[in-house]
Amino acid sequence: MKNDMPRSERILMMLIIIFFAVPLPLTFLAHVGPLKKSLRMGHLKGILPQTDYTPFSWSAVFNAKYQASVGRFFDNEFFGRPGLIELTDELYFRLFKISPMKSTLAVVGKKETLFEDLYWNEYVLNRVRKEQLLPLIINLKQMQELYRSRGKGFVVVITPSKASVYPELLPAGWERRYDPRPRGYDQFLPLLREQGIHYVDGHAIATTARDSSDVPVFPKGGIHWGAYTAFLTANAVIAELQSQGKPLQLLHYTNYRVLNTPPEQDADILQLLNLMFPWHYPVVDFDIKPVPVTGHRPNMVIVGGSFIWRMTDFLNDSRQFSEIDCFYYYKVRKKSFYDGKSRIISEPVQSVDFDREIFAADNLVLEINESFISNIPNHLDKFTTDALQHAATSPNPSPAPAYLYENTQPAQ
């Protein structure tokens, strides 16, 4: 007696066959010249596939390099892979409030607010003894005295941590791990005040703005501060330099905009989650009004981490600086800003001409995020140590002209 498969099972089997069989020829077709654009699907953020494919040869077959290359090809280029990953990420996020993308180091806080885990680790766990901060404080004091003796501006900027600005969004389960001992930030401020070091407290600026304004100080899906917070801090830097007698003017903005679809810089961690459906949340954007300047325009050097970029954009857009040179984590990258333009000068920074690139600058801004104060040593430890060692061996540098990026070749 013939045992026919039920119709529903036949349909299910056909769907399974189609699901697994159809992508195979489409994977090959997606790499045929005329069909590449129409069949290639999406681009995953933060994922850099290995593309060192081995061409076919008998020797490559016998040593298995070709087979391994074919395996990498299908891993990276299998038709529909971006969509399947995005669907998987979306399901994990919606069902479990986590991301399977381990490379993102993302933590989902309350109200589905995204954080990078290092900021919660610092806020909850990482602690440092007060005496561990003293060498950096001494270096900062000496750098300030060195700049003051040469008639130049100097300020330390502490940028805010999203975790410490929104502690009420602490993810469930983290509260019981909180270490009640003082954080590095809480010990750093009194030391700066005791030594009379000029500083701007971006954490205080962010928390005040959070409580007094309906403008988000950190975007829901971003790691870094929003435009409004960076703007307020940039003006606080200018005000501090003004108090030192520097001829600078405060920033003013035009074309204030509230956006419900965040641009990339306000969704940097959200993009790394590679979710299937877009998010919508409010962020602000505006344009900086150029400052009318007659005569000499001062320049500025900024040494700091990833929070410096938005603040530098605003300072540069004011057009009151002849040039702003940024040393990203001191030696990772040097980027110069000039009249609304910018260019990477070197990556990484192999060496620094301290006389021309640092001490010839009219103003020096040293930035550290409050979450990195507990990281001993950090980029400011290394930078100030090197700068002071150079100054000790060259106490009376020749009046060499300040570094100008248009006189250099861009990084290759």
> What is the three-state SS of 239-293?
HHHHCCCCCCCCCCEEEEEEECCCCHHHCHHHHHHCCCCCCCCCEEEEEECCCCC
**How deeply is 168 buried, as exposed, middle or buried, from its count of CB atoms within 10 A (0-12, 13-18, 19+)?**
exposed
Q: How confident is the model at residue 87 (pLDDT cuts 50, 70, 90)?
A: confident
pLDDT in tens, 310-326: 999 999 999 999 999 99
pLDDT in tens, 188-234: 999 999 999 999 999 999 999 999 888 889 999 999 999 999 999 99
Task: State both tokens at 408.
Answer: 């250099």
Angle of the 202-212 helix axis to the 227-242 helix axis, nearest 10: 130
CB-based burial, 308-343: b 16+ in 10 Å, e otherwise: bbbbbbbbbbbbbbbbbbbbbbbbebbbbbbeeebe
pLDDT of 94 over the 70 cut: yes
- In this structure, of 39-53, 125-139, 172-186, 295-309, the range with the lowest mean pLDDT score is 39-53
pLDDT of 39 over the 50 cut: no
pLDDT in tens, 227-263: 999 999 999 999 999 999 999 999 999 988 999 999 9
Residue with tokens 């001062």: 298
Contacts (Cβ under 8 Å, ≥6 apart) of 304: 157, 159, 326, 327, 328, 329, 365, 366, 367, 368, 379
